[in-house]
């Protein structure tokens, strides 16, 4: 335990997200602000869902363990739905703000495109979701202890870390596809995002059978990665150009006046 587990799990859980942040977002103040605003929206959705869950729990029989678990499941589903609702709310807010700014400014491109906003807000949601899921666990992993001494799984920390990483990245992909679906009014895609989120959360109900939850989640992660990549305008050609460093206009960096 202690330091090795702590650092290992932290880097697993937050590595990709932080790398994305540092490489693509940290230099642009506007993106940072929208990231934090996205995190805030996720937080508000969590607050609402916890409030509702709390009320329901208070009204129920607190001694009945099965009922409590059922209520928890209900809480999870409610929370997922609320998160997606707030994602939609954030999208509407951004759209309105962007339109307002566009009409005011004399330039015909916005300083930040809706696709960038999709990416950034998705990552904001992901950061906050990941942080809330795993930070307390990480804090506990620093101290002394034995994992699974009462017969629970010994892979608690590392599975949490992997799950968090998957969820963070998934949130980002969902954000991209969601905004695109809203732009194109494709309700099918939108409902797919929501269903996928529900599916991932429901998969975690089989924990601690980590094989049952982690593997499908990672499969979904790759699927959504591909979909989000296509949604954002990526093609195999772009990818090969980018990887061989022949593309001067990198996908998200150096985006100044190209409207996407």
CB of 92 to other proteins, least distance (A): 18
End-to-end Cα distance, the chain:
47
CB of 29 to other proteins, least distance (A): 4
Residue with tokens 């529900």: 198
CB of 177 to other proteins, least distance (A): 19
Within 10 Å of residue 128's Cβ, how many Cβ atoms? Answer: 23
Looking at the Cβ atoms of 24 and 231, the one nearer to other proteins is 24
**Among residues 231, 234, 256, which one has the least CA distance to residue 243?**
234
Looking at the Cβ atoms of 148 and 233, the one nearer to other proteins is 148
The angle subtended at Cα 177 by Cα 171 and Cα 200, nearest 5°, is 40
Looking at the Cβ atoms of 38 and 179, the one nearer to other proteins is 38
Looking at the Cβ atoms of 156 and 224, the one nearer to other proteins is 156
CB of 231 to other proteins, least distance (A): 24
CB of 182 to other proteins, least distance (A): 22
In whole angstroms, what separates CA 157 from the centre of its chain?
20
Looking at the Cβ atoms of 14 and 231, the one nearer to other proteins is 14
Q: How far apart (Å, rounded) are the C-alpha atoms in residues 159 and 210?
A: 7
Q: How far apart (Å, rounded) are the C-alpha atoms in residues 234 and 157?
A: 35
Give the start-end residues of each E strand in the chain: none
145: helix, strand or coil: coil
Q: How far apart (Å, rounded) are the C-alpha atoms in residues 150 and 103?
A: 63
Looking at the Cβ atoms of 101 and 239, the one nearer to other proteins is 101
Here the tokens at position 142 are 């620093």
**Among residues 208, 13, 6, which one has the least CA distance to residue 129?**
13
In whole angstroms, what separates CA 6 from the centre of its chain?
22
CB of 185 to other proteins, least distance (A): 27
Question: Binding residues for other proteins, per CB under 8 A?
Answer: 29-30, 32-33, 36-37, 39-40, 43, 46-47, 49-51, 53-54, 57, 68-69, 72-73, 75-76, 79-80, 83, 101, 104-107, 111, 128-129, 131-133, 135-137, 139, 156, 159-160, 163-164, 167, 200-201, 204-205, 207-208
Instruction: Kindly report the backbone phi and psi dihedral angles of residue 72, in degrees, each rounded to the nearest multiple of 5, phi listed first.
Output: -65, -45
Looking at the Cβ atoms of 32 and 85, the one nearer to other proteins is 32
CB of 43 to other proteins, least distance (A): 6
Looking at the Cβ atoms of 80 and 231, the one nearer to other proteins is 80
CB of 186 to other proteins, least distance (A): 25
Here the tokens at position 72 are 């928890």
Q: How far apart (Å, rounded) are the C-alpha atoms in residues 48 and 83?
A: 10
């Amino acid at each position: 335990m202690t330091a090795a587990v702590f650092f290992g799990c932290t880097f697993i859980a937050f590595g990709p997200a932080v790398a994305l942040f540092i490489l693509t977002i940290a230099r642009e103040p506007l993106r940072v602000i929208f990231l934090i605003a996205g995190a805030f929206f996720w937080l508000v959705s969590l607050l609402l869902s916890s409030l509702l869950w709390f009320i329901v729990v208070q009204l129920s029989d607190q001694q009945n363990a099965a009922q409590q678990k059922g209520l928890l499941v209900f809480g999870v589903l409610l929370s997922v739905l609320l998160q997606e609702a707030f994602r939609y709310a954030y999208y509407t807010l951004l759209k309105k703000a962007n339109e307002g700014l566009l009409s005011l400014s004399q330039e015909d491109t916005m300083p930040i495109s809706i696709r960038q906003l999709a990416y950034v807000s998705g990552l904001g949601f992901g950061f906050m979701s990941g942080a809330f899921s795993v930070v307390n666990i990480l804090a506990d992993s620093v101290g002394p202890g034995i994992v699974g001494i009462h017969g629970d799984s010994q892979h608690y920390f590392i599975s949490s870390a992997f799950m968090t990483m998957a969820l963070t990245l998934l949130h980002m992909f969902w954000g991209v596809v969601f905004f695109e679906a809203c732009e194109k009014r494709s309700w099918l895609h939108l409902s797919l995002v929501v269903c996928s989120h529900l599916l991932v959360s429901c998969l975690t109900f089989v924990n601690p059978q980590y094989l049952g939850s982690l593997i499908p989640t990672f499969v979904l992660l790759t699927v959504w990665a591909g979909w989000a990549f296509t949604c954002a305008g990526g093609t195999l050609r772009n990818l090969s150009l980018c990887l061989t460093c022949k593309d001067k206009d990198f996908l998200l960096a150096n985006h100044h006046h190209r409207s996407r």
